[in-house]
A and B are shown apart, each in its own frame.
Chain A
């Protein structure tokens, strides 16, 4: 087993078979990582609601884990280990990765013929070096940014760590005019104890193209600790249509950190669904940059936390151009002593007149010990805009429960109906039956435990 202390030596080791430019980028990220402090709840505003350092030694423990994580996957040619994914049907395209190692990649001959490219990122570095060089941490998830949502130092700590040590992940590149209606499926798994997943995802949809990606982040076992520090970069070219669904159901021992950012060009549309069921602590930074005139983003979030899970999400809707629209709806259900924090900002830049932006976060608490923080925010520098936001948090309604029970429905089923009903406004906007069904199963199993 190869363990890593996330040192410079380790960067060199990972980069030894990679192009020089990637090695340089890794080292640059590494020096930034070294210079940045680890996030601190009392000093750093964006971490204030993540963990309370005064009552639990959360973060120090996490850091100890960081030093001890096994990173066996630094060599992409490493032999495939562990479970082969029997549940996977090839369909249009499928990619399976276990503990950072690509295990299986398939793309239908029909799509290959249309020059669609779908591969593990390490493979892509060799086969499509120039493409990766253009897009990898240069335009979306970057270490330095002039965008408003980027000025968050601790967000950068993990971005820098990721930039230095990333391993695994994949790229999907769809050429101009190619429209893929059937979803491509991706399964990213953690199987061994104390392993890390530092996947980097690049979705590049050229002009007039269309893609649908459904990605699962899953643990093979329920009791193995793990660490995910990932990045997702999405590019929707002019008039492209991108649907990206990420279902995160790591087990409750995994520490999850992710930076995800989409850049949306003129008249392009993004539908982005984020479902969260797993992780011990999840810290997710998510942003859409509406760069071109008429760009549209729909962000749908659905989360169900239980036990002592802690989910912290920061979202940004950045409107750079006129006539851009964005619509965010995040709904969380909390059980037991779990906690969620959502901080969302809409930024409207001076040029972005006729922006229409919406954001809403609602929380349903099934336990009196659960806790939800919700902070919507607006920063508007244009004159002709329409921005609406809202947030709610509340215990399950006793009158609703009584009403259902008065019709013969037992408490557990009444609670399930209310929870399903609460998620329904998100579910009904998810354009795929299979995905809705999968999520409903996760919701049901959460209610049963």
Chain B
């Protein structure tokens, strides 16, 4: 069996408010899924919940990845299993260079066994540099990028490309891309879209979370799901995105009797 991320009847709340209200989805390695929904539908909550952010409370449900119950695991253990989240708002960490950070991350993810949490043996510098240079070239990134502090003073586009570089270096089995196209101009969307597209293949399953379909011009999903009010209300093929483009979310809301919440997309505290 190929690796799959299986989410069953998942409920997540933030500060006591239920945001995800029973969500089912299965993403297999090699598949591309799009999860679309308007602001406030719970997209980012799902993303953070899957990765194990402490502010997001899992009330019930299951998340099985590669046969393992990931809800019991620390975020780093989830990453080590092969789960990756590209953040909508990547966190800046001043003083920590991109290269130093990536070397630590790659070493941790590839370490044979985590005996406790300490003592991660760093992969040899030379080996790491060669690999980093290669991946940066593939993504058409300047080498100077590696010396900059992680997300510190990065433009919107740089932040998103840095996320994709991390995706490329960590080689996860399933990647969740949370609004990777948000806040980017058309050229930046193209660059990011083409970068992700170049990474998609039989070894990588992708769940693209977005409220706007333009990223999907570059990475065409086989499966499209519509998230409204914390639940998936429609699933289908690529044609669903075209329907959304033409008519927006209102007909779907009407069909399922869901009122527009006007809620602002929740952010992490």
Instruction: From A399, A406, A411, A418, give the contact of B85 (CB < 8 A).
Output: A406
B248 at interface by CB-CB < 8 Å = no
Please tell me if the beta carbons of B120 and A410 are within 8 angstroms of each other in the complex.
yes
Least Cβ–Cβ distance between B140 and chain A, in angstroms: 22
A407 at interface by CB-CB < 8 Å = yes
Q: Which residues from 65 to 109 on chain B have a C-beta closer than 8 Å to any C-beta of chain A?
A: 74-76, 78-80, 84-85, 87, 90-91, 93-96, 100-101, 104-106, 108-109
B-contacting 9-mer, from A4-12, A190-198, A271-279, A420-428: A420-428
Complex interface: chain A residues within 8 A of B84 (CB): 406
Q: Which residues from 404 to 432 on chain A have a C-beta closer than 8 Å to any C-beta of chain B?
A: 404-414, 417-418, 420-425
Complex interface: chain A residues within 8 A of B101 (CB): 404, 407, 417
Instruction: From A400, A402, A408, A417, give the contact of B53 (CB < 8 A).
Output: A402
Least Cβ–Cβ distance between B87 and chain A, in angstroms: 7
- Cα-based distance from A162 to B108 in the complex (angstroms): 51
Least Cβ–Cβ distance between B192 and chain A, in angstroms: 18
A434 at interface by CB-CB < 8 Å = no
Complex interface: chain A residues within 8 A of B108 (CB): 407-410, 413
Given A402-B53, A403-B91, A404-B101: A411 and B76 interface contact (C-beta under 8 Å): yes
Complex interface: chain A residues within 8 A of B54 (CB): 398, 402
Q: Could you say which of B87, B100, B104 has the most chain A C-beta atoms within 10 Å of its C-beta?
A: B104
- Cα-based distance from A418 to B87 in the complex (angstroms): 19
Please tell me if the beta carbons of B76 and A417 are within 8 angstroms of each other in the complex.
no
Please tell me if the beta carbons of B79 and A417 are within 8 angstroms of each other in the complex.
no
Please tell me if the beta carbons of A411 and B95 are within 8 angstroms of each other in the complex.
no
Q: Could you say which of B95, B108, B114, B149 has the most chain A C-beta atoms within 10 Å of its C-beta?
A: B95
Q: Could you say which of A397, A417, A423 has the most chain B C-beta atoms within 10 Å of its C-beta?
A: A417
B127 at interface by CB-CB < 8 Å = no
Q: Could you say which of A405, A411, A422, A425 has the most chain B C-beta atoms within 10 Å of its C-beta?
A: A405
Instruction: From B55, B95, B109, B149, give the contact of A407 (CB < 8 A).
Output: B109
B243 at interface by CB-CB < 8 Å = no
Q: Which residues from 16 to 43 on chain A have a C-beta closer than 8 Å to any C-beta of chain B?
A: none
Complex interface: chain A residues within 8 A of B109 (CB): 407-408
B117 at interface by CB-CB < 8 Å = yes
Complex interface: chain B residues within 8 A of A422 (CB): 94-95
B142 at interface by CB-CB < 8 Å = no
Complex interface: chain A residues within 8 A of B258 (CB): none
Least Cβ–Cβ distance between B175 and chain A, in angstroms: 12
Complex interface: chain B residues within 8 A of A400 (CB): 91, 93
B5 at interface by CB-CB < 8 Å = no
B166 at interface by CB-CB < 8 Å = yes
Please tell me if the beta carbons of B74 and A405 are within 8 angstroms of each other in the complex.
yes
Q: Which residues from 123 to 174 on chain A have a C-beta closer than 8 Å to any C-beta of chain B?
A: none
B164 at interface by CB-CB < 8 Å = no
Please tell me if the beta carbons of B76 and A405 are within 8 angstroms of each other in the complex.
yes
Interface size bracket, B side = 35 or more
Q: Could you say which of A398, A402, A412, A424 has the most chain B C-beta atoms within 10 Å of its C-beta?
A: A402
Please tell me if the beta carbons of B117 and A417 are within 8 angstroms of each other in the complex.
no
Given A402-B53, A402-B54, A404-B101: A410 and B114 interface contact (C-beta under 8 Å): yes
B170 at interface by CB-CB < 8 Å = yes
Given A400-B91, A413-B104, A422-B95: A405 and B79 interface contact (C-beta under 8 Å): yes
B137 at interface by CB-CB < 8 Å = no
Please tell me if the beta carbons of A408 and B76 are within 8 angstroms of each other in the complex.
yes
Complex interface: chain A residues within 8 A of B104 (CB): 404, 409, 413, 417
Least Cβ–Cβ distance between A243 and chain B, in angstroms: 23
Complex interface: chain B residues within 8 A of A425 (CB): 94-95
- Cα-based distance from A409 to B84 in the complex (angstroms): 12
Least Cβ–Cβ distance between A280 and chain B, in angstroms: 28
Please tell me if the beta carbons of A408 and B100 are within 8 angstroms of each other in the complex.
no
Least Cβ–Cβ distance between A390 and chain B, in angstroms: 15
Least Cβ–Cβ distance between A140 and chain B, in angstroms: 34
Please tell me if the beta carbons of A410 and B118 are within 8 angstroms of each other in the complex.
yes
Given A410-B118, A421-B149: A403 and B90 interface contact (C-beta under 8 Å): yes
Q: Which residues from 362 to 420 on chain A have a C-beta closer than 8 Å to any C-beta of chain B?
A: 397-400, 402-414, 417-418, 420
B51 at interface by CB-CB < 8 Å = yes
Q: Mark B142-153, 1 if CB is under 8 A from A, else 0.
A: 000000011000
Least Cβ–Cβ distance between B198 and chain A, in angstroms: 20
Q: Which residues from 80 to 130 on chain A have a C-beta closer than 8 Å to any C-beta of chain B?
A: none
Q: Nearest chain-A residue to B268 (Cβ)?
A: A399
Given A409-B105, A413-B117, A417-B101: A402 and B75 interface contact (C-beta under 8 Å): yes
Least Cβ–Cβ distance between B149 and chain A, in angstroms: 7
Q: Which residues from 233 to 263 on chain B have a C-beta closer than 8 Å to any C-beta of chain A?
A: none
Given A402-B53, A402-B75, A409-B108: A417 and B80 interface contact (C-beta under 8 Å): no
Least Cβ–Cβ distance between B226 and chain A, in angstroms: 26
Least Cβ–Cβ distance between B72 and chain A, in angstroms: 15
Please tell me if the beta carbons of A407 and B118 are within 8 angstroms of each other in the complex.
no
Instruction: From A399, A405, A407, give the contact of B170 (CB < 8 A).
Output: A407
Q: Could you say which of A399, A418, A420 has the most chain B C-beta atoms within 10 Å of its C-beta?
A: A399
- Cα-based distance from A294 to B268 in the complex (angstroms): 49
- Cα-based distance from A405 to B108 in the complex (angstroms): 10
Least Cβ–Cβ distance between A428 and chain B, in angstroms: 9
Complex interface: chain A residues within 8 A of B75 (CB): 402, 405-406
Q: Nearest chain-B residue to A418 (Cβ)?
A: B93
Complex interface: chain A residues within 8 A of B150 (CB): 421
- Cα-based distance from A46 to B104 in the complex (angstroms): 43
Q: Nearest chain-B residue to A399 (Cβ)?
A: B91
Offer 17 A-B interface pairs, CB within 8 angstroms, sorted by A: A399-B91, A402-B268, A403-B93, A404-B105, A405-B76, A406-B79, A406-B84, A407-B166, A407-B170, A408-B76, A409-B105, A410-B74, A411-B76, A417-B101, A421-B150, A424-B94, A448-B118
Interface residues of B (CB under 8 A from A): 51-55, 74-76, 78-80, 84-85, 87, 90-91, 93-96, 100-101, 104-106, 108-109, 114, 117-118, 120, 149-150, 166, 170, 268
Further contacts, 16 of them, CB under 8 A, given A403-B90, A405-B75, A424-B94: A397-B91, A398-B54, A404-B104, A405-B52, A406-B52, A406-B76, A406-B84, A407-B79, A407-B109, A408-B105, A408-B108, A408-B109, A410-B120, A418-B93, A422-B94, A424-B96
Interface residues of A (CB under 8 A from B): 397-400, 402-414, 417-418, 420-425, 448
